[in-house]
Chains A and B, each alone.
Chain A
């Protein structure tokens, strides 16, 4: 499998009033194309920090992150923004749609960064919205006028619109109930089945089951890894394997 991301000795340290907190410690990691990688760990273990360091959203304190063969740790903030728009899609726990823009415009705001032809961008945005079950009646609504599940699916549409090499999802179901959470996971799973690489942070075992590769972060290090294979709905063995792995990690 092709390696999309590779980290070497990745460290992240926060300082506060002279006190240093080492959140990531010398992480060597590879993320592969086509994988649905899930990062798990206890609260404060450093999973989100790792996700944002991998995506170029945050700069590591030490070490390197290579994305598709290119070192992204040395870029300026604007270089990284351009890198993100071309290579990454993001799904956040709080959806983070722009409240002053309609559903369609939220997706287009990302699409038009890459596709300058408005007609093409618009057609694609509508297609992607439909693919995440956001129908036409919602396109001109504002984020505050739709439900949390719908908003999260719009967020996924925005993440997928530019065919990114990798989609990063940070607790995408964290703010949703189980039904709408399942819908969102179905969308991500479907995207992965269509070849989209995904890295997802979660502390929810049901969500984690969707991944084919589970990484467990503990005290800023990758404490363990579990390969689950391709997701199949209702696969009890998969669930048991994941439970055993997490149990072994002290979860």
Chain B
């Protein structure tokens, strides 16, 4: 062992530069892997743990009814099968706009009193931050308003509900199980008693709504329980506004974007690890080549292949061990920054804790892969005969060919010599090709995310329908509302729709969107396969739901609601990121078989000539109909607010991916050119002696990598352009996105490609400047 240790030390001293380069790559790999695993393993469990800590139960139901008396007597029958439940009375506002940062966030809002909120024993609300000295008209906002909306305790907060303006002061932020994130479809806020009373006085006769958190008995299935309860509520009050969702749906919707980031991060890390493996293989190959004489001498004096291999392995193992420890440490230093974006999206107060799985995975992956590829690469040492090694591997009998003949080459002298160098260094160029290609792919994916989640949000893939605005009128007002809306200046393309939950058998449910005529929808892309339902017996169901349950286009499906059922023909599949990918679309005519549309609030989507007209029209409707207009939505503002967290994530992804790509290319070219210059130092000395300038040799060296890099960039840019959507589809299929048609801006791809080529050339030239240090005279006398 002492022999090997001494040799390992000698190897390191002799190959300090490339060892440090490999060390940096190993550090980068362990850091990225640890970071990705921290996110991947910690995000959902953190949200789940948080829900568990706050006794979130198994699900939450809310009921807003003008006729039903929701009390313990009613609930004890309705909620048969629960182990325990807790009822809270609060105000319920379906889909209202709350100011969020510089925009507005559209969400359903639950407004609570401080006393009842703090008295809860299930799904407890925790105050994440507050200033208890603030009194008067105050408000506690969800924690996401701080992390993503940029609000602070003590800020002024103004909003308007049902035509009434509220000017409040932010007293604190809440950490809640069910109402903390825009993606989970509910915001829970708390206001001072005076404000609460004022709001209550302006709400219609339904008054306070009922929010029930429940825990099921072990033998009760959530699906069956949910459908039974919702059907019972529909039977008891057909007009009741009800929702019942399992806690898993809230947690999933809260964490899905975080998981996408973590997944993307993991994918990038895998690519980087592949690059590192290639670099280790290359480095060992170079090591053997450059130390051929030493290996020969060692073998000649009696060292076995095992001794020599052991010493090289020891060096790489030591590098891997130290690099992975440092890499993991750095990942924990960076984790708060990366997780801040995740926190902003989740709205859960969360600090990164030590993750044993992430640490072990990162450590073991880097160390074991290093050992494995080192051992595999070192197999050639066994085959080296001492005499060949002492001749530095020069074999008198070989079958080299000369594909670039200087007298026949169509290129200039420098270009021809560059090509010769390129062909002579096939392995290095293959590595460069693969690495550059991977990095182009990563950057194209990041560009896609930036373009579709930030610059020009691809709304058609995220929402069932697109419009400039939407209004919801109660069942008695919608006809008058429609006429008024139609008469407004600038309004066009008014589309009527209704929505409700429907059921498939006794366990599955679908969120149904009923359009007057689905084929008139703005967003017909929502139907990615087949066609939109247009006849009275047709329905579109989500692809995710269809896949889970084995439905095909043309199959029949029986849907039920409130004791009515009807069998429909599936005419096409739709995709959606909402409602856990469980949605359905049908026409009003088809819906009439199971729904009483007349008794439901009616919504209208509309478009306007200018963006400024949206609020004017909504204000006019609100002024005219007051409380009879149930909801108003400025879709553009709502989308803008909804995209805030996505934008941050997309920008972070683009910046990180570009930085990682630049860093990887820098390190790879550093190592490859360094070893190239070292292995060709004699040739460079000869070239210089016969009159080649350093400038010419630098350009030749850098240029020898450029054809590969340019080819790789072009090829992978084209390939990435075509496979980026299928790749994302593969990742997002579980979230309900079955066919990705994200836009990939060609100018952006070209910019990435050109930037990568220029960056690579600049790095290659800078690194090839080492040639300047080679003095022909020193090289000659050294021999």
Contacts and interface: CB of A to CB of B under 8 A. Distances in A.
A82 B693 contact: yes
A10 interface: no
Given A48-B781, A101-B402, A102-B405, A84 B417 contact: no
Which of B397, B417, B689, B783 has the most chain A CB atoms closer than 10 A to its own CB?
B689
Contact of B406 (A77, A99, A118, A144): A118
Contact of A118 (B396, B407, B772): B407
Interface stretch (B230-238, B259-267, B680-688, B705-713): B680-688
A84 B683 contact: no
Contacts of B405: 102, 104-105, 140
Interface in A96-148: 96-102, 104-105, 108-110, 112-113, 118-119, 121-122, 125, 140, 142, 144-145
A99 to B, nearest CB: 8
A122 to B, nearest CB: 4
B407 A121 contact: yes
B395 A52 contact: no
Interface string B583-621: 000000000000000000000000000000000000000
A85 B690 contact: yes
B510 to A, nearest CB: 68
Which of B394, B395, B400, B685 has the most chain A CB atoms closer than 10 A to its own CB?
B400
A49 to B, nearest CB: 8
Nearest to A90: B689
Interface string A11-33: 00000000000000000000000
A78 interface: yes
Given A78-B694, A81-B691, A113-B691, A98 B398 contact: no
Contacts of B688: 77, 81
A118 B408 CA distance: 8
A84 B691 contact: yes
B607 to A, nearest CB: 68
Contacts of B394: 99, 144
B388 to A, nearest CB: 12
B693 A78 contact: yes
Interface in B378-432: 394-398, 400, 402, 405-409, 413, 417, 420-421, 424
Contacts of B686: 96-98
Contacts of B398: 142, 144-145
B689 A57 contact: yes
B683 A112 contact: no
Nearest to A146: B396
Interface in B755-783: 772, 775-777, 780-781, 783
Contacts, number: 104
Contact of A144 (B395, B424, B775, B776): B395
Contacts of A182: none
Nearest to A109: B406
Contact of B783 (A94, A113, A140): A94
Interface residues of B, number: 37
A158 interface: yes
B484 interface: no
A140 B402 contact: yes
Contact of B413 (A96, A112, A144): A112
Contact of B424 (A92, A100, A102, A121): A100
Nearest to A59: B777
A118 to B, nearest CB: 6
Interface string B660-688: 00000000000000000000001101111
Given A108-B407, A109-B417, A122-B407, A81 B692 contact: yes
Nearest to B689: A90
B217 interface: no
Given A81-B692, A82-B693, A94-B783, A109 B687 contact: yes
A43 to B, nearest CB: 13
A99 B682 CA distance: 10
B547 interface: no
A184 B692 CA distance: 25
Interface in A60-102: 77-78, 81-82, 84-86, 88, 90, 92, 94, 96-102
A126 to B, nearest CB: 9
B228 to A, nearest CB: 79
B695 A78 contact: yes
A219 interface: no
Contact of A57 (B395, B397, B692, B777): B777
A58 interface: yes
Which of B395, B396, B400, B686 has the most chain A CB atoms closer than 10 A to its own CB?
B686
Contacts of A158: 690
B569 to A, nearest CB: 70
B780 A52 contact: yes
A119 B410 CA distance: 12
Nearest to A168: B689
A119 B405 CA distance: 12
A104 B396 CA distance: 18
A140 B403 CA distance: 11
Nearest to B402: A102
Contact of B776 (A57, A94, A121, A122): A57
A164 B485 CA distance: 94
Contact of B691 (A82, A101, A119, A144): A82
B615 to A, nearest CB: 69
Contacts of B772: 77
Contacts of B781: 48
Given A112-B406, A113-B413, A84 B690 contact: yes
B782 to A, nearest CB: 11
A83 to B, nearest CB: 8
A174 to B, nearest CB: 11
B777 A58 contact: yes
Given A112-B413, A145-B396, A84 B407 contact: no
B779 to A, nearest CB: 9
A84 B691 CA distance: 5
A104 B686 CA distance: 16
B517 to A, nearest CB: 72
A39 to B, nearest CB: 15
Contacts of A102: 402, 405
Contacts of A78: 693-695
B694 A144 contact: no
A57 to B, nearest CB: 5
A96 to B, nearest CB: 5
Contacts of A90: 689-690
A104 B407 contact: yes
A9 to B, nearest CB: 20
A81 B683 contact: no
A110 B406 contact: no
Contacts of A98: 683, 686-687
Contacts of B396: 144-145
Nearest to A86: B691
Nearest to A53: B777
A96 B407 contact: no
A101 B405 CA distance: 9
Q: Which 10 A-B pairs have the closest CB atoms?
A: A85-B691, A122-B407, A58-B777, A78-B693, A108-B406, A112-B413, A81-B693, A100-B424, A84-B691, A102-B402
Interface of B: 394-398, 400, 402, 405-409, 413, 417, 420-421, 424, 682-683, 685-695, 772, 775-777, 780-781, 783
23 contacts: A57-B689, A58-B775, A77-B693, A84-B689, A84-B691, A85-B692, A92-B689, A92-B780, A101-B402, A101-B406, A105-B406, A109-B417, A109-B687, A110-B690, A122-B406, A140-B405, A142-B398, A142-B402, A144-B396, A144-B398, A145-B396, A145-B398, A158-B690
Interface of A: 48, 52, 57-58, 77-78, 81-82, 84-86, 88, 90, 92, 94, 96-102, 104-105, 108-110, 112-113, 118-119, 121-122, 125, 140, 142, 144-145, 158, 170
Given A81-B688, A92-B689, 12 more contacts: A52-B780, A58-B775, A77-B694, A81-B693, A82-B691, A97-B686, A99-B394, A101-B402, A101-B420, A112-B406, A118-B406, A118-B408
